[in-house]
Amino acid sequence: MTIRTRFAPSPTGYIHVGNVRAALFPWLLTRQQGGSFILRIEDTDRSRFVPGAEDLILDTLEWLGIDWDEGPRKGGSHGPYHQSERLEIYHTWAKKLVEKGLAYADPYTPEEVQGFREEARALKKAFLYRDYRPENPPEWDGTQPLRFKVTSPKRYTWNDPVMGELSAGPEALDDFILIKADGYPTYNFAHIIDDFEMGITHVIRGLEYISSTPKYLSLYEALEITPPTLVCLPHIMAPDGRKKLGKRDGAKSVTDYRTDGILPEAMLNFLASMGWNDGTEQEIFSRQELIDKFSLDRVQRSGARFDEKRLLWMNGQWIRQISLDDLYQRVESYWPQSAAQFDASYKHQVLALVQDRLKTLAELPMMSRFFFEEPDVNWELITSNKQLKKLSEGEIRELLKTVHDKLAELADWNPETIQETLNQLLEITGQKPGVLFSLIRIVTTWAPFSPQLNDTLALFGKDKTLSRIASQL
């Protein structure tokens, strides 16, 4: 069997981390098994349609390297790949159910249905639409909702490769809408038809669909379709681990993370490790390593907590792994405005110094601005330092005068000679590195963070270093 999986997003807004993981796992499985990964756009809910959302989804997948074999921008032999272009297909299948007596036109108004719900509540029993099914429904002409007719409610048992053997009784089955009054199919109907016609062998999606699986199985049976392998993934949980991650808990658009300077390698690595591991202590995986090692039997059943700090740590690891030339291309839009007047060679040198300190590309201006422009003096950096705040202004000026005069004696200005001089200054002043080096770093950069001190001063040059120190004497 050639494996075929799919990702079927709805263009209803931005794509967040939960959406991407729902694409990543089936993509990994397909790439490992040499199958086909299909992208399908489920755009039948016209009330929630957001213009431009589809392009945002496609661009995000392309940025992450989650490529697809069939679908928008690619074409394929199983199209159309937009549900809104497949209405005739759904209606053809719906008519088959009507002819078999397994679907009927729903004549009730929303108010009448609400009355049925209240009646069931008064009788202290669960509301099931099939208990109020019309005895003589009108002929379906497409202007009324079409409902699936459950003829023999029974228990269904199925095996989920992640969640194990599952089952549900007759109480989970009910008459549900197949085609809405506007002529568009519901998800419950359309995805089953699409997956069958597109030859999908594995449906991998979120845990929220597990409660609907019995309904899907009853419809597969009615349509005489053999179900594909149904896989439910555990939720990505909010940072507190108590509920499913939502927009209020940090489920930002993946585009926002991209703008914030998260690398696609890090995001892919991070999402793959949320709910899956290869059984080792390894945390950093390349794209190819994820493909080689992924398996559904290593996906955990419990939810994985969303930890943005871990994402930032992982991003920093990836920034340090890529080459300097590669990083230089990626940070093109992140340089501070003042860097525009400097040549590529100098910016390469700056980037080489800060590469090990960056957690995101968006930190580049903060970590590098003082290389391109005179920084604003901020004495709070000194007064908030636990060790430096103990020194009086006079003691600070005296230390800086000693540092200035000793550095001025240097004939060869390079990282090695600067470090030797800094070490000598520790002996001369009797200060600890945490005091003296912190003071020099602050008055030359006026930044909360900076690269290795001797390398920073070497790149500044002797004149700029002495000038910045002298300005505080």
Tell me if 247 is assigned to a ligand binding site. Answer: yes
Nearest to 145 by CA among 211, 98, 192: 98
Burial of 158: CB neighbours in 10 Å, binned 0-12, 13-18, 19+: middle
User: Residue 377 and residue 181: Cα distance in Å, rounded?
Assistant: 67
For this structure, is 247 an active site residue? Answer: yes
Task: Select which of 100, 154, 247, 432 is catalytic.
Answer: 247
Q: Which residues are annotated as a binding site for ATP?
A: 247
From the annotation, which residues make up the binding site?
247
Q: Which amino acids are annotated catalytic? A: 247
